[in-house]
Amino acid sequence: MKSYREIAGDGGSDVLGQVAERSARLRARMAPVATTLAVMSGKGGVGKSVVSANLAAALATRARRVGVLDADLNGPCLARMLGVEGRRLKLGDDGIVPAEGPLGVKVVSMDLLLPESGSALAWRAPAAQNQFAWRGMLEATALAEFAGDTAWGELDFLLIDLPPGAERFADLHDLLPACDKALVVTTPSGLAIASVRRSVILARKLDARLLGAVENMAGLFAADGPAQALGVPLLGSIPFDPRIAQCADRGLPFVSAHPDAPAARAFAALADEIERRCTAEAAR
Amino acid sequence: MKFLCVGCDEPMTLAQAPDPPSQGSLSAIFRCARCGQRVALLTNPWETQLVCSLGVAIGGPKPTRKPLALVRATLAEAGLLWTEEAEQRLAHVPEPVRPMARAAIERYARGQGYGEVDCAVMDEAKARMHG
């Protein structure tokens, strides 16, 4: 009797071909993007999205073309932080047209597709029970659609803001091999560093370039030297400033609202450092 | 997944592509080209969900792909997507009544089962409102 491998095709559906087609579409979409950078952390609440939003704004201030993909489908907040909350994604000739925030940052987020800002994400599914069994796969496919169906155009940077979880970068890397660079965000708290270390260990196992760590809310906790504890270069240290959260709530990048504040200068320095490292990588 | 006719040792091919899932199940019919033997594949809700979650079509011609097709089809509640042209046209409606106009057009579009709003849908909705 013939074995699975001796039979060509799958009887007419060509499921593998369809998946390969999707990957090819995704690759083509990412081709005009110079640098795709994942912003990740093993721990929630360390300020990944704040770092993503302000890094995007700081890069855009330097006249870089920047896009942001909010990969946190269940808890999207970048639309609000980047001042496009309430807007909608549009259908253009070449796909989805991202919302454009202050400084021209292009934003794609689940929040821009849900009927109202703040709506909970719920899927309509044949198997409504035991969602744990399929939800991850559905969300991965959804993320691939967001990345691959958006008309990003030419970008210098596409930042992908990942939800918390050590495994999230590995999932993204499977889905989007073009995203081969990442930075980790942590706070100086020992608990956060311990969680973030897991992300670092996992990322190192992949064929990906971990640029380094960003220490957020620096000075708020006693611990020092989180990057050293993580064993990665320190890309930047953002001092705690309560106005950062206030700006995020108002949809105003902190770097634009308070450009002379120490934290804004730290974001600017982070943008410079990211750019310097990415340029050096490209030159290799 | 592949089907083999054991008697002929020949792979079976899809004879009837599945309709959209009904009560959480997909059914597809495969046939052996040599002996004509037919078998039906019937999926349980979790198997159906697996296929849906992958965003692939089983059998038959592939439908024309639209942006965010899976996301829009699978979200329990998704806002309608407007084309750029339709948004530009809506922008000509005076601002104080624009939200009302948008809501009325979306209500019409949903009622008709449309997944997006373009200028043609706006014309239809307008004709219905004034008709």
Chosen for mutation from A22, A88, A91, A131 (greatest number of chain B CBs closer than 10 Å) is A91
| Residue A192 confidence (pLDDT) | 84
CATH superfamily of B81-130: Proto-chlorophyllide reductase 57 kD subunit B (1.10.8.550)
| Residue A68, domain extent | 25-283
**Could you give the CA distance from residue A283 to residue A280 in angstroms, rounded to a whole number?**
5
Residue A15 lies in a domain: no
Using the Cα atoms of residue A198, residue A77, residue B50 and residue A147 in order, give the sign of their dihedral. Answer: negative
Find the helix or strand (DSSP H, E) in which A90 lies.
strand A90-92
- Chain B 78-97, CB below 8 Å of chain A: which residues? 78-79, 81-84, 87
| Residue A148 confidence (pLDDT) | 92
Chosen for mutation from B10, B13, B22, B75 (greatest number of chain A CBs closer than 10 Å) is B75
Which residue ranges does chain B devote to CATH 1.10.8.550? 81-130
| Residue B60 confidence (pLDDT) | 56
**Could you give the CA distance from residue A44 to residue A216 in angstroms, rounded to a whole number?**
12
Residue A18 lies in a domain: no
* Amino acid identity, position A223: A
The reply to whether residue A134 touches residue B59, judged by beta carbons under 8 angstroms, is no
Q: For chain B, which residues score pLDDT lower than 50? A: none
- CA distances for A144 relative to A21, A113, A159, A189, B67, angstroms: 12, 15, 15, 33, 11
> Could you identify the residue written with the tokens 């997507």?
B81
**Could you give the CA distance from residue A238 to residue A186 in angstroms, rounded to a whole number?**
10
pLDDT in tens, B45-66: 888 888 888 888 777 556 677 8
Residue A8 lies in a domain: no
Q: What is the ipTM of this complex?
A: 0.82
pLDDT tens per residue, chain A (284 residues)? 999 999 988 878 888 888 888 888 899 999 999 999 999 998 888 999 999 999 999 999 999 999 999 999 988 999 999 999 989 899 999 999 999 998 999 999 999 998 877 778 888 877 777 778 788 888 889 999 999 999 999 999 999 999 988 788 888 888 888 787 999 999 888 888 888 888 888 888 887 788 999 999 988 766 566 667 788 899 999 999 999 999 999 999 999 999 999 999 999 999 999 999 998 887 87
Residue A118 lies in a domain: yes
Distance from B77 to chain A by nearest Cα, in Å? 7
Q: How many domains does chain A have?
A: 1
* Amino acid identity, position A200: V
> What is the reported pTM?
0.89
| Residue A251 confidence (pLDDT) | 94
Residue A11 lies in a domain: no
| Residue A193 confidence (pLDDT) | 85
CATH code where residue A88 lies: 3.40.50.300
The reply to whether residue A90 touches residue B49, judged by beta carbons under 8 angstroms, is no
Strand order, beta sheet including A66-70: A99-100, A106-108, A66-70, A155-161, A33-40, A181-186, A209-218, A234-239
- CA distances for B102 relative to A68, A109, A116, A119, B93, angstroms: 27, 21, 14, 19, 10
- Nearest by CB: A137 against B54, B67, B78: B54
Residue A2 lies in a domain: no
Residue A77 lies in a domain: yes
- Nearest by CB: A125 against B49, B87, B116: B49
